[in-house]
Amino acid sequence: MSDDLCRLPASTLSEKIAAKKISPVELTKAVLARAEALQPVLNCFITLVPDQAMAAARRAEDAVMRGEPLGLLHGIPFAAKDLVNTAGVRTTFGSLHYEDNVPKEDAVGAARLKQAGAILFGKTTTPEFGHKALTDAPLFGRTRNAWSAERTSAGSSGGAAVAVAAGIGPIGIATDGGGSTRIPAAANGMVGLKQSNGVIPHSQVADAFGNYTYVTPMTRTVMDTALMLQAMAGPHPSDPWSIGVPVPDYAAAARADGDLSGKRILYSVTLGNSLVAADVRDAFDQALKKLAALGAELIELDGDLPDMAPIWKVINHTTWRARFDDLVRRPDNRLSASLVRQVKMADAWSGVDYQQAMFQRTDLFRKVQGWFETADYLVTPTLSRTALPIEQDLFEPISVDGVEAGELRINWFPYTMPFNITGHPALTVCCGYAGDGLPIGLQFVGRFRDEASVLRAGALYESSERWLERWPDL
């Protein structure tokens, strides 16, 4: 029974809790038991808080039994990536330097999930400060993919994706600075949304005005993503991008009603990439056929994006230099070697280089905006191939179908980075499985701050397939 509970989406669980058919206490016990059983296999948690979670579950159950008004996610267990502050719960950022750090306040996203009735049960793994798309760190080791112990969970929200994919908890908070939600979501067959700037306030980011990082939902279904977004969205004084941003009915948008008739979809299987795995191409072609069958008009994107890596790297690595250079220079520096190497890369860039990258960011935003003057969505693969080997190094080339493709970032996830820079909403959903048995992701990108439309397209596609019926063999 406990495993059956862990396979239900949050949307179903919340209805059953409200109807007194499922107990929050029973559900939380099941989640904690599964976390304890699978942690030695998957290594997807840094911290679990069973006592705190059970106390919250008992309070949630009492509220149900007293007939009190219930929040949108009342009694639903969630885990938060260990970059996200949680009051009174250790938050390490995946770093030995913060191994014993306990924040006094919740990040806005975590606070709002709790206000909606959700129950924090643990903190999921992240590479140190979320600095790469592989989830490992000296603090905890490596996080395995839910579908294969020989493959990486991807990252940087690897723990969040694996926990949901393994049925440990139905939802989780992730973050996305260059694809860090969508990459592991795709590598583990989950739903990952990077919303537009300000839709979910980011109360921890140092540069709120130049922000390109996002606190995000991680779920199994599009509807669960919509419910998390509904709970976490809305203005907050900590984030200038969020002020004045309305909150539409995301849950209504995520119902798979109607079709895509009258919608125009731009598509690109490469988006400037050189090598794409044959299985990914095949799954992408089949997904396009499904979208056409739903009534959409498909138009191949004419012209590629500029090379994103130089723009993203200058903005990202100079940000890291400003944040971490003092740590790097300390005699007791215990940072990950891969983070230190990237911080040092920024030594070569000046303030002029940074500002020119910001000018290019504006140009890129305007280019993408131009696409959506005549189209409703852009659809791409999420990754060029399935999950990489678990021993993959950030600085070593990756292979695609046995061919050396080159540097990891620009050859595995060129599809995700652009929309961190432009701020447009981007959603990944599972669109099939490769010959190696691992999931393949499909990315929907939409108009700025039109998450509702992106959720609707994702939900319609999701309902046309049966990929959610598959579970990893653990």
pLDDT in tens, 330-362: 999 999 999 999 999 999 999 999 999 999 999
Alpha-carbon gap, residue 268 to 427, rounded angstroms: 15
Catalytic residue among 29, 81, 132, 313: 81
For residue 399, list its beta bridge partners: 404
Tell me the per-residue pLDDT of 105-151, one tens digit each, with 9 for 90 and over.
Answer: 999 999 999 999 999 999 999 999 999 999 999 999 999 999 999 99
Catalytic residue among 14, 23, 153, 156: 156
pTM for the full predicted model: 0.98
On the question of pLDDT at 306 being above 90, the answer is: no
Count of Cβ atoms closer than 10 Å to residue 381 Cβ = 29
* Confidence label for 201 from pLDDT (cuts 50, 70 and 90): very high
* Confidence label for 385 from pLDDT (cuts 50, 70 and 90): very high
* Confidence label for 4 from pLDDT (cuts 50, 70 and 90): confident
Give me the chain's average pLDDT, please: 97
Lowest mean pLDDT among 158-167, 197-206, 266-275, 434-443: 266-275
Alpha-carbon gap, residue 306 to 350, rounded angstroms: 21
| DSSP class of 178 | S
In the chain, what is the straight-line distance between the N-terminal and C-terminal CA atoms, in Å?
Answer: 17
What was the pLDDT predicted at 155? 98
Between strands 398-400 and 403-406, the pairing is antiparallel
Whether omega for the bond prior to residue 399 falls within 30 degrees of 0, making it cis, is: no
* Confidence label for 307 from pLDDT (cuts 50, 70 and 90): confident
- Contacts with 368 (C-beta within 8 Å, 6 or more apart), sequence order: 378, 418, 419, 422, 424, 445
What is the mean predicted confidence (pLDDT) over 15-35? Answer: 98
Catalytic residue among 23, 95, 153, 180: 180
On the question of pLDDT at 293 being above 70, the answer is: yes
What was the pLDDT predicted at 462? 98
On the question of pLDDT at 305 being above 80, the answer is: no
Tell me the per-residue pLDDT of 402-415, one tens digit each, with 9 for 90 and over.
Answer: 999 999 999 999 99
What was the pLDDT predicted at 3? 77
Rg (CA), the chain: 21
Please confirm, yes or no, whether 180 is among the known catalytic residues. yes
- Starting at the edge strand found earlier in the chain, the sheet holding 297-300 runs 45-48, 119-124, 77-81, 171-176, 214-219, 191-194, 426-433, 439-446, 377-381, 264-267, 297-300
- Structural domains of the chain ordered from first start: 2-310+346-469 (3.90.1300.10)
* Confidence label for 218 from pLDDT (cuts 50, 70 and 90): very high
In the structure, how many helices (H) and strands (E) does the chain have?
16, 15
* Amino acid identity at 66: R
What is the mean predicted confidence (pLDDT) over 221-244? Answer: 98
What was the pLDDT predicted at 26? 98
On the question of pLDDT at 1 being above 70, the answer is: no
What is the mean predicted confidence (pLDDT) over 45-73? Answer: 98
